[in-house]
């Protein structure tokens, strides 16, 4: 989109810095790397097993890795970022297209951030925000610019880059 940042490899993000909200997740072997690839004319973030370099699956724990393995694989320059796979433990709330070119956050998204009071970071594109909360939700995605990624039918993943948002 015009005026929006292009997605760049996230290898320059200080993944190893101590972010208390992420320490619990970093201790779980539920991490994948991802690479931006074109599918049917659209770019998407395709997950990869950090240990083998093969495709990862959000419903196949054998394709996941530790946080340290994911960061090490990311540093090879082969991937654009890393992601956490939700497995009946956390839920990711994806606030799409809510960060404006001037850095301001749309009021509807700020209302979610204020109410949730949880760890939040900018999405890889810089145009959205990911919020991580402990627990699973009982039903599927919601409307508007907010999507919840959960484990009811199929575990999903959320990119994590340490680029905390306000």
Give residue-wise pLDDT tens across range 7-51: 344 445 556 567 888 899 999 999 999 999 999 999 999 999 999
Asked if pLDDT for residue 4 goes beyond 70, the answer is: no
**What's the CA gap between 61 and 46, in Å, rounded?**
16
Percentage of the residues of the chain whose pLDDT score is greater than 70 = 73
Q: Where are the domains of the chain?
A: 20-85, 86-156
Q: What is the pLDDT of residues 104-139, one digit of tens each?
A: 999 999 999 999 999 998 988 889 998 988 887 665
**What's the CA gap between 31 and 64, in Å, rounded?**
5
Write down the H helix ranges in the chain. 20-26, 67-74, 107-116
Q: DSSP labels for 70-95? A: HHHHHTTTS-SEEEEEPSSSEEEEEE
């Amino acid at each position: 989109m015009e005026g929006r940042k292009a997605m760049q490899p996230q290898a320059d993000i200080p993944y190893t810095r101590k972010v208390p909200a992420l320490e619990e997740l970093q201790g779980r072997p539920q991490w994948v790397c991802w690479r931006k690839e074109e599918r049917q004319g659209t770019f998407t973030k395709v997950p990869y097993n950090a240990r083998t370099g093969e495709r990862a699956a959000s419903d196949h724990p054998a394709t996941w890795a530790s946080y340290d393995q994911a960061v090490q694989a990311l540093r090879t320059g082969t991937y654009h970022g890393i992601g956490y796979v939700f497995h009946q433990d956390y839920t990711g709330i994806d606030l799409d297209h809510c960060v404006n070119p001037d850095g301001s956050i749309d009021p509807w998204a700020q209302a979610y951030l204020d109410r949730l009071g949880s760890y939040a970071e900018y999405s890889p594109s810089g145009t959205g925000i990911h919020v991580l909360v402990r627990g699973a939700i009982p039903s599927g995605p919601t409307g508007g610019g907010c999507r919840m990624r959960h484990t009811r039918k199929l575990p999903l993943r959320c990119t994590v880059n340490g680029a905390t948002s306000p």
